[in-house]
Amino acid sequence: MMGNINHEFDPDRVSGLINTVNKEISKVIVGQSEVVEQALVGLFSKGHILLVGVPGLAKTLLVRTLAGILGLEFNRIQFTPDLMPADITGTEILQNSPDGGKCFSFIKGPVFSNVILADEINRTPPKTQAALLQAMQEYSITVGAKTYSLDKPFFVLATQNPIEQEGTYPLPEAQLDRFMLNVKVDYPDADEEAEIVSRTTAIDEPEVSVVLSKEDLLSMQELARQIPVADHVVKYSVSLVRSTRPWEKDIPEFINKWVSWGAGPRASQYLVLGAKTRALIKGKNAATIEDIRAVAKPVLRHRIIPNFSAEADGVIPDLIIDKLIEEVKAPSGKLKD
């Protein structure tokens, strides 16, 4: 058994905080309960999130709302083809020094914030996309010969339109792997859409309150890592990830048929961490197989690269993950979920 919850873990307090957060979000966001849950899993796991959906599904609004209820400093970067790395990180400029000479002074870019909305991240070339790599992995930025630390917590929440390909640049695999979760944002159902129309065409605009301080957020992130997870749950997550890799031993045949590249070890780490965080959000005292399966799609869908056969058969990563969950058995002796 990994991890031990210390005396600071209070399920009732955690449950109260989560309910308050969801209540505030629901003032602005209609429905999308699964998307909101996955976004909270990412935030409480210290993970970056890629939100993928067609225009008009409130992806940007969700990010703004999350930043608002957490009381964090927020910056939006609109990614365009002419955006340069310095437009994100900042740049050094030559200025007059107090002694009458000249000196270089660093002007911080918008990446120096707690929550970064990278809006339509795939509309800028890879060179500019890569400006976020160091920030996302090391929480620092290097400009010239000097490295600058970023304040924590630090999150990148990026949006992407999956249907428009003209004028876009696919994210490199190294960039994709920096995102803990790839959250799919779907259309609302009929009742939700009617509620959205009613709210957005009325006079009053809902406002959210800050309900979680920076200290509360950091505390929740620490608590998530203290949630215990049994050895068989860890083994199941590793088996699930290893089964995405073609030519591994004892993998389902459809993986060799449909997959070019599978997920790396970081996926196993994120599966377990995401399961722990989901257990915390649900008020559970341990992460289970159920939690692993619940976070499997957002963790794995951008780490599985289908081949041409999959495209010809109309097979997408989500279908491959569903079949893996059916095929990969939990290790013997697993606890009842």
Residue 39 lies in a domain: yes
Q: Which residue pairs, CB below 8 angstroms and at least 24 apart, start in 305-308?
A: 305/173, 305/259, 305/260, 305/261, 305/262, 306/258, 306/259, 306/260, 307/258, 307/259, 307/260
Pair (26, 159) in one structural domain? yes
Which CATH number does the domain housing residue 184 bear? 3.40.50.300
Pair (160, 294) in one structural domain? no
Which of 177, 198, 226 is the endpoint of a domain?
A: 226
Predicted confidence at residue 277, as pLDDT, reads 93
Residue 3 lies in a domain: no
Measure Cα distances from 59 to 62, 86, 110, 116, 300 in Å: 5, 26, 20, 13, 20
Residue 306 lies in a domain: yes
Predicted confidence at residue 272, as pLDDT, reads 95
Residue 238 lies in a domain: yes
Residue 1 lies in a domain: no
Which of 226, 243, 263 is the endpoint of a domain?
A: 226
Predicted confidence at residue 5, as pLDDT, reads 40
Rounded Cα distance between 244 and 158, Å, is: 25
- Give this prediction's pTM: 0.85
Predicted confidence at residue 235, as pLDDT, reads 93
Pair (216, 250) in one structural domain? no
Expressed as residue numbers, the domain containing 251 is 227-337
* Residue segments in the chain with a per-residue pLDDT below the cut of 50: 1-7, 333-337
Pair (199, 237) in one structural domain? no
Residue 4 lies in a domain: no
Residue 155 lies in a domain: yes
Pair (248, 190) in one structural domain? no
| Beta strand pairing call for 305-306 and 259-261 | antiparallel
Residue 53 lies in a domain: yes
Dihedral, CA of residue 21, residue 26, residue 27 and residue 28, to nearest 10: 110
Q: How many domains does the chain have?
A: 2
Predicted confidence at residue 332, as pLDDT, reads 60
